[in-house]
Amino acid sequence: SYELTQSPSVFVSPGQTASITCSGHKLGDKYASWYQQKPGQSPVLVIYQDSKRPSGIPERFSGSNSGNTATLTISGTQAMDEADYYCQAWDSTTAVFGGGTKVTVL
Amino acid sequence: QVQLVQSGAEVKKPGSSVKVSCKASGGTLINYPITWVRQAPGQGLEWMGGIIPIFGTTNYAQRFQGRVTITAGESTTTTYMELSSLTYEDTAIYYCARESSGTGEGWFDPWGQGTLVIVSS
Tens digits of pLDDT across chain A (106 residues): 999 999 999 999 999 999 999 999 999 999 999 999 999 999 999 999 999 999 999 999 999 999 999 999 999 999 999 999 999 999 989 999 999 999 999 9
- Calculate mean pLDDT across residues B67-95: 94
Of the candidates B104, B64, B115, the residue with the CA atom closest to the CA atom of residue B86: B64
The three-state DSSP-derived secondary structure of chain B is CCEEEECCCEEECCCCCEEEEEEEECCCCCCCCEEEEEECCCCCCEEEEEEECCCCEEEECHHHCCCEEEEECCCCCEEEEEECCCCHHHCEEEEEEEECCCCCCCCEEEECCCEEEEECC
How many CB pairs below 8 A link A and B? 61
Measured in angstroms, the CA of A59 and the nearest CA of chain B are apart by 18
Predicted local distance difference test score (pLDDT) of residue B30 = 63
Q: Answer positive or negative: Cα dihedral of B18, B32, B97, B75.
A: negative
Report CB contact under 8 Å: A100, B107: no
Q: Is the pLDDT of residue B102 over 80?
A: no
Report CB contact under 8 Å: A95, B112: no
Beta bridge partners of B51: B34, B58
Predicted local distance difference test score (pLDDT) of residue B29 = 61
Report CB contact under 8 Å: A48, B46: no
Residue among A33, A94, A100 minimizing CB distance to B107: A33
Reported as a single tens digit per residue, the pLDDT across B27-56 is 666 678 999 999 999 999 999 999 988 888
On the question of a cis peptide bond just before residue A39, with omega within 30 degrees of 0, the verdict is no
A28 Cβ under 8 Å from any chain B Cβ: no
Q: Are B50 and B68 in contact (CB under 8 A)?
A: no
